[in-house]
């Protein structure tokens, strides 16, 4: 793959440097991996990027690097045009805490006059059994519920900024998940692979139900899988020290780089080609088919209703 794949210069985010000028983009988990690469590409396209990150120090370090890279690439100095082009802002957001999500949204709603794109990118993969601050199974809590509350609290601002877009990062591994409503917190049994897949299936069902609710608002929402990408996502996977070099070599040869993996996120966030497109699933910047379980409208509605109760936004 490494030797026959497309060159980075052909990929999205390397083209029209003014495409996102005047637009504000919020990316969760923007300090690492795909989120960081997405932030870099959208910055180069002229966007003002808000990095929603749980660890301020890690986020400031990534922001510093991104600013240096932007200057080296000959991009605008942050804010040098007197406006917001190419500007990077760090804000604290821990998706494993509903209190943090609420505080983050309050800050955004107070300080940001507009929000053109929300990218629900942050994620946690196959961690040991853990619960969020509010008692949710960690992968379901962060990957689905935290983003569910975040999106709902920011919907008004997105609607006021329309045409606007929501981009959700899921995974092909959704195929191995199911929404087992009787044990959403995995208190009866915990299987870390199943729970990751369940959370990624929830991302897709959420996208489709939200697209239905947003019809006629000029706010679109689409979901994607990035492929297999060499990032920090595998931090909870224990690979014995002896085989680590082999795994590193294999991942270097066959996994996508974060820049390559971020292309579909950048495409859905910025391309005129997908203007008005909503409720669709993408891979490699192309629409893909979903399994029937990801298109089940009654499961999507039930998941929405239960998620509202779980995060406490039931009106």
| CB within 8 Å of 272: residues ≥ 6 apart | none
Query: Which tokens is 229 given?
Result: 């990408």
Q: How far is the CB of 248 from ligand NDP (least distance, A)?
A: 15
| Residue 192 interacts with, from ligand NDP, ligand RET, none (CB under 5-8 Å by kind) | none
Applying CB under 6 A, which part among 40-48, 51-59, 247-255, 272-280 lies near ligand RET?
Answer: 247-255
Contact pick of 8, 73, 109, 239 for ligand RET (by CB under 6 A): 239
Gap between the Cα atoms of 86 and 223, Å rounded:
25
Taking CB under 6 A as the rule, does residue 269 contact ligand NDP? no
Taking CB under 6 A as the rule, does residue 226 contact ligand NDP? yes
Choosing from 174, 176, 196, 267, the catalytic residue is 196
Taking CB under 6 A as the rule, does residue 35 contact ligand NDP? yes
Taking CB under 6 A as the rule, does residue 232 contact ligand NDP? yes
Sign of CA dihedral 269, 210, 229, 39: positive
Taking CB under 6 A as the rule, does residue 247 contact ligand RET? yes
Q: How far is the CB of 146 from ligand RET (least distance, A)?
A: 17
Taking the least distance from each CB to ligand RET, the nearer of 125 and 206 is: 125
Taking the least distance from each CB to ligand NDP, the nearer of 229 and 259 is: 229
> To the nearest 10°, the Cα dihedral for 180, 181, 182, 185?
80
Residue 236 near residue 196, CB atoms below 8 Å: no
Number of residues interacting with ligand NDP: please give it, by CB under 6 A.
30
For 77-111, give the DSSP string.
PTTTTSS-TT-EEEEE--TT-HHHHHHHHHHHHHH
Taking CB under 6 A as the rule, does residue 233 contact ligand NDP? yes
Query: Is residue 196 annotated as part of the catalytic site, yes or no?
Result: yes
For residue 214, which of 164, 171, 264 has the smallest C-alpha distance? Answer: 164
Contact pick of 2, 56, 58, 71 for ligand NDP (by CB under 6 A): 58
Q: Which residues pair with 164 in a beta bridge?
A: 219
Contact pick of 234, 295, 296, 308 for ligand RET (by CB under 6 A): 234
Contact pick of 121, 143, 161, 231 for ligand RET (by CB under 6 A): 231
Taking CB under 6 A as the rule, does residue 251 contact ligand RET? yes
Taking the least distance from each CB to ligand NDP, the nearer of 160 and 232 is: 232
Number of residues interacting with ligand RET: please give it, by CB under 6 A.
14
Kindly list the strands in the beta sheet with 24-28, ordered across the sheet, starting from the edge strand earlier in the chain: 88-92, 48-53, 24-28, 117-120, 164-169, 219-225, 281-283, 286-287
Gap between the Cα atoms of 92 and 107, Å rounded:
10
Q: How far is the CB of 146 from ligand NDP (least distance, A)?
A: 7
Taking the least distance from each CB to ligand RET, the nearer of 160 and 193 is: 193
Contact pick of 105, 117, 121, 263 for ligand NDP (by CB under 6 A): 121
> To the nearest 10°, the Cα dihedral for 271, 273, 274, 277?
160
**Beta-carbon count within 10 A of 279 CB:** 18
Residues in contact with ligand NDP by CB under 6 A are 28-29, 31-35, 53-55, 58, 93-96, 121-125, 142, 169, 171, 225-226, 228-229, 231-233
- Give catalytic residues, as residue numbers: 196
Residues in contact with ligand RET by CB under 6 A are 125, 171, 173, 228-231, 233-234, 237, 239, 247-248, 251
């Amino acid at each position: 793959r490494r030797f026959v794949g497309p060159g980075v210069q052909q990929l999205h985010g390397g083209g029209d440097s003014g495409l996102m000028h005047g637009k504000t983009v919020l990316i969760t988990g923007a300090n690492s991996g795909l989120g960081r690469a997405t932030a870099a590409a959208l910055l180069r396209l002229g966007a003002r990027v808000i990095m929603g990150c749980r660890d301020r120090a890690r986020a400031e370090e990534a922001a510093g690097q991104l600013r240096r890279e932007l200057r080296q690439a000959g991009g605008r100095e942050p804010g040098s045009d007197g406006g917001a082009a190419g500007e990077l802002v760090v804000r604290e957001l821990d998706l494993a805490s509903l209190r943090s999500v609420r505080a983050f949204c309050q800050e955004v709603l107070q300080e940001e006059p507009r929000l053109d794109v929300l990218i629900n990118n942050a994620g946690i993969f196959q961690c040991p059994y853990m619960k969020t601050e509010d008692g949710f199974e960690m992968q379901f809590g962060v990957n689905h519920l935290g983003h569910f509350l975040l999106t709902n609290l920011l919907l008004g601002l997105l609607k006021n900024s329309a045409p606007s877009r929501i981009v959700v990062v899921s995974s092909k591994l959704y195929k191995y998940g199911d929404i087992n409503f009787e044990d959403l917190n995995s208190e009866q049994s915990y299987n870390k692979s199943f729970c990751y897949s369940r959370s990624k299936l929830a991302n897709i069902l959420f996208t489709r139900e939200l697209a239905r609710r947003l019809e006629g608002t000029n706010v679109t929402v689409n979901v994607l899988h990035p492929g297999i990408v060499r990032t920090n996502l595998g931090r909870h996977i224990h690979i014995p020290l002896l085989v680590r070099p082999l795994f590193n070599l294999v991942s270097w040869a066959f996994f996508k780089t974060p820049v390559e993996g971020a292309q579909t996120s950048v495409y859905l966030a910025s391309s005129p080609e997908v203007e008005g497109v909503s409720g669709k699933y993408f891979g490699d910047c192309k629409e893909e088919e979903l399994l029937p379980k990801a298109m089940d409208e009654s499961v999507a509605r039930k998941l929405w209703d239960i998620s509202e109760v779980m995060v406490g936004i039931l009106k």
